[in-house]
Structure 1
Amino acid sequence: MDHSYPYIASLTREPFLFYEMRSTAKLMAEGNSDDAIVKKIVEQNLFQYPTERSISRMAKACIKRLHAIEDASLVSAIASQPTDTAKQICLYALMKQSRLVWEFMLTVIGEKYRLREMSFGKIDLNTFFMRLQEQNDTVASWSDTTIIKLKQIIAKVLVETEYLDNRGADHLNPVWLHPVLENAIRSNGDTAILPAFNCFS
């Protein structure tokens, strides 16, 4: 992750989107162009959204996120692998796209796994954002509403990817990194992020 990359709050509009990512990945894996993918998703209302504009916007967001992983084999895996594997790859895609999620997963989650300190609570999210607000003018300028929404979305992502059993859980589950993703992370030169997936070998 390039640290000159700005912090963006787009997560509030484009959360985890697993179902949408999977539908988009299927079309991408079939070799459709980006424009053709958007067209198909809109025409067939694959996301079941109320307006064409919202479908088109989200389809483009998914395409952008899939391109962020820079790995065709992972795009195919999102389309075809079992749900838990595909969700883990979607988390990696989200991390590649969002410096915020990348740093949270590495400095908070990865650090807990490293120290075998499995407790987790609102305080961890609060501390992470407070530290960022002190260090970064962009994050400091976000409204309280935005910060609250981002915390909720990150917590929801942790539940969707089985790091947490539910929103009220007070400890992290030990996750297992699927080999298809581990191999890709290593070949993409992203080994720094392995602790976020409880992988230390």
Structure 2
Amino acid sequence: MDNTCPYIASLTREPFLFYEMRTTAKLLSSGLSEEDIVAQITSGNLFQYPTEKSVARMAKACLKRLAAMDDMDLVRAIAQQPTDVAKQICLYAMMKQSRLMWEFMLTVIGEKYRLKDSSFGRIDLNTYFMRLQEQDDAVAAWSEGTITKLKQVFAKVLVENEYLDDVHADHLNPVYLHPILENAIRSHGDLMVLPAFNCFS
């Protein structure tokens, strides 16, 4: 993750999107072009959204997130692997695309696993965003509503990936890094991201 990347609040509109990512990954692994994928998702309303406009935008967002991994094997894994494996790879894709998510998973979640500190609560999310607001003018300019929505997205992502039992949970569960993703992370040289998945070997 490039530290010169700006922090972007697009996760408020583009949360975890597991179902959409899996649908897009299936089409991408079948060899379709990005234009054809967007067209097919939109014309067939494959995401089952109420309006067509949001479908095309979301399809492009999914393609961008899949591209951020730069790994066709992982795209295929999202399409074909069991849900828990595919979700974990979707989390990695989300981290690769969003500096906001990347740094949260490393500096907050990875750090807790490293320190064997399983406590987790709203305070951890609040502290992360307060620190960012102090360090970064762009984040400081975000509205309170945007920050609140981002905290909700982050909490839901942690629940989807079983880091938390529910959004009100007060502790982190030990998570297991699936070998498919671990091998890809190692081959990409992304070793610093391993603690975010509770992996220290």
Query: Shorter-normalised TM-score: what interval?
Result: over 0.9
* Contiguous gaps of at least 5 residues in structure 2: none
How much has 1:189 moved relative to structure 2?
A: 1.2
Match of 2:2 in 1: 2
Q: In the TM superposition, what whole-angstrom CA distance separates every residue of 1:110-166 from its partner, at most 9, and x where no partner exists?
A: 000000000000000000000000011111010000000000100000000100000
SS in structure 2 at match of 1:15: coil
Match of 1:79 in 2: 79
Match of 2:42 in 1: 42
CA distance in 2, matches of 1:128, 1:50: 34
How much has 1:60 moved relative to structure 2?
A: 0.4
Identity of matched residues, %: 74
Runs of 4+ in 1 over 4 A off after TM superposition: none
Equivalent runs, 1:75-114 vs 2, <5 Å? 75-114=75-114
Equivalent runs, 1:1-201 vs 2, <5 Å? 1-201=1-201
Instruction: Say what the alpha-carbon RMSD is for the aligned residues.
Output: 0.4
CA distance in 1, matches of 2:69, 2:127: 28
* Contiguous gaps of at least 5 residues in structure 1: none
How much has 1:16 moved relative to structure 2?
A: 0.3
TM-score between the two structures when normalised by the length of structure 2: 0.99
CA distance in 2, matches of 1:42, 1:151: 29
Letter in 1 for 2:200: F
SS in structure 2 at match of 1:200: coil
CA distance in 2, matches of 1:77, 1:190: 18
TM-score between the two structures when normalised by the length of structure 1: 0.99
How much has 1:100 moved relative to structure 2?
A: 0.3
How much has 1:51 moved relative to structure 2?
A: 1.0
